[in-house]
Amino acid sequence: MLHDVDLYHQNQLVSLKSHEENKMSLFKKHDETTAPEGASQMLAKAKSHYGFVPNLAAYVAESPAVLGAILKLSETFEQSSLNTQEQQVVLLTVSALNNCNYCKTVHTALGKTAEIDNETINNVIKGRPLGNKKLNALQLFTKLLIEEKGVLNEKQVKAFVDAGYTNAQVFEVIMGVALKTITNFSNHLAGAEPNAEFLAMASGKAAA
C-alpha cells in the first residue's frame, strides 16, 4: 500500500515540474521579513502550528486579509464536529477534484498523520469508492457538492445523513469545500511547491 502513495508522489514530481514551468512570475514568496504589514505575524502563527511556514501561505501573505481568512477558516474547520480523518477526506477530495498538486500532497501528509490508511488516501485521490462505508458517503457527498455546485436534492442529502452524519455536518462539509476552494485556486495561480516537510510526511519518511 505504501508503494501506491510513493508512486503517486513520483507522478506528483512530474506534475510539479510542469506546473513550475507554467508558473506565473507575478507573485512573490514571502517570509516574515518581506510580508506586508499584518501578514508576518500570521506566517509566524502558521509556523507555530506546522513547525514550518507552508509555501502556499508564503505566497498568499501578499494579502494579509486572505491569509488571515485561510488561517481562521482552517482553525474553525478543525474545531468542527467532523473527526480528523473525516476532515482530511473532505479536504483531499476537493483538492483532487480541483487537481491541486500542492494541496493533494499536503492532505496526503495530514491524512497519514490522522492515521488514514494508504489505500483510502490513494482511492480518494483517484476518486474511487472507499472501503469504509461512512467515509465513502462523505467522499460522495463532497464530490456532489462540487460537481452540482451545491444544488442537491433531498434524496442526495438524506443519503449522507443516513450514513451516520448530522444535519450540522452537512454545512461543515460545505465549510471544508469553501476552505479548499480558496487554497486550491490560490495555488493554481501562485504555483507553490509542497514543502519538503509535507513531501516527507506524505511518503512516510523523515524530512532531510
Domains of the chain, residue spans: 2-203
Residue 196: predicted pLDDT: 95
Look at residue 38 and give its three-state secondary structure.
Answer: coil
CATH number of 2-203: 1.20.1290.10
More confident residue, 3 or 75: 75
% of the chain residues with pLDDT over 90: 79
Mean pLDDT of the chain: 90
* φ, ψ at 186 (rounded to 5°): -60, -40
pLDDT band at residue 207 under the 50/70/90 scheme:
low
pLDDT band at residue 19 under the 50/70/90 scheme:
low
Residue range 59-68: average pLDDT? 96
Residue 1: predicted pLDDT: 45
Residue 164: predicted pLDDT: 98
Residue 208 pLDDT > 50: no
Residue 22: predicted pLDDT: 54
Residue 48: predicted pLDDT: 87
**Cut 0.75: pTM above it:** yes
Residue 2 pLDDT > 70: no
Residue 184: predicted pLDDT: 97
Residue 45: predicted pLDDT: 85
Rounded Cα–Cα distance for residues 84 and 190 (Å): 28
Residue range 105-133: average pLDDT? 96
pLDDT band at residue 25 under the 50/70/90 scheme:
confident
CB 186, CB 106: distance < 8 Å: no
CA distances from 160 to 111, 123, 136, 168, 170 (A): 21, 19, 10, 12, 8
Residue range 1-10: average pLDDT? 49
Rounded Cα–Cα distance for residues 138 and 140 (Å): 5
More confident residue, 18 or 152: 152
Residue range 90-112: average pLDDT? 97
Least confident of 2-11, 85-94, 111-120: 2-11
